[in-house]
Amino acid sequence: QKVPAYQLKLKEKDNSLRIISAVIESMKHWSQYTYKTALLFEVLGTLDSAVTPGAYGAKSFVLRDGKESLPCVFYEIDRELPRLIRGRVHRCMGNYDTKRNIFKCVSVRPATVVEQRTFQEFVKTSDVEMRECVKTMNEV
């Protein structure tokens, strides 16, 4: 079967950033491919700790979804972390450091009700896409 030229072109060239909606488990899983394609994650989870200050303007906290929990850090470089309320669901954008098991957040805020309701659907869509993407990576 002949592959159209534009598809080849896309495969070769395009490794642009993807933003992936993920639960903690799938975020950890897809993170192993960050060396091949740029990924940024959107994770929704319940704040399950106090927010504690650390060195270099770091604010640390723990996020939980289901049985999985995720240590997170946000560095207050150009802006402060908003007030987060333990027990509420928050939306974090960031990257996972596999070696240190820590989620480095670039943006944290309370998740809206609609976001919580639709999140599973986004996770599913992202999963399908990533599975396909990994398959392609292995082919090339």
Partner 1 sequence: MAYSISTHNFVALSDLHPNLARPSIIGVVIGKTDVKGFPDRKNIGSERYTFSFTIRDSPAYFINVNSWGREEYVRSLSESFRVGDCVTIENPLVQTKELEKEEKFNPTTPSCYKLLLSETHSVVKICCHYEVDTKLLSLLHVPVKDPQDYYSLGDIVANGQSLDGRIINVLAAVKSVGEPKYFTTSDKRKGQRCEVKLCDETELSFAMICWDNESIQLAQSWMPRETVIFASELRINFDKFRNCMTATVISKTIFTTNPDTPEANILFNFIKESAATGALDDITEDQLKESINLQTIVDIYTVEQLKVKALQNEGKPEPVYGIIYAYISTLNIDTDTSKIIRNRCSGCHYVVNEMSNTCTFCNDNTSDAKSVFTSFDLLVDLTDHTGTLRSCNLSDVVAEETLSCTLVLSPSLRTGLRVNLLSCKLADPVEASQSLSGNGRK
Applying CB under 8 A, which residues contact partner 1? Answer: 6-7, 9-10, 14, 16-21, 40, 42, 112, 114-115, 117-118, 121-122, 124-126, 128-130, 132
In angstroms, the CA 123 to CA 140 distance is 26
Nearer to partner 1, 54 or 76 (CB): 76
Cα–Cα distances (Å) from 6 to 10, 124, 134, in that order, read 6, 27, 20
Measured from the CB atom, the residue of 36 and 86 that comes closer to partner 1 is: 36
| Shortest Cβ 129–partner 1 spacing (Å) | 5
Say how far residue 130 (Cα) sits from the centre of its chain. Answer: 13
CB of 77 vs partner 1, minimal distance in Å? 13
Q: Which two tokens stand for residue 24?
A: 């903690």
Amino acid type, 8? L
Closer by beta carbon to partner 1, 114 or else 140? 114
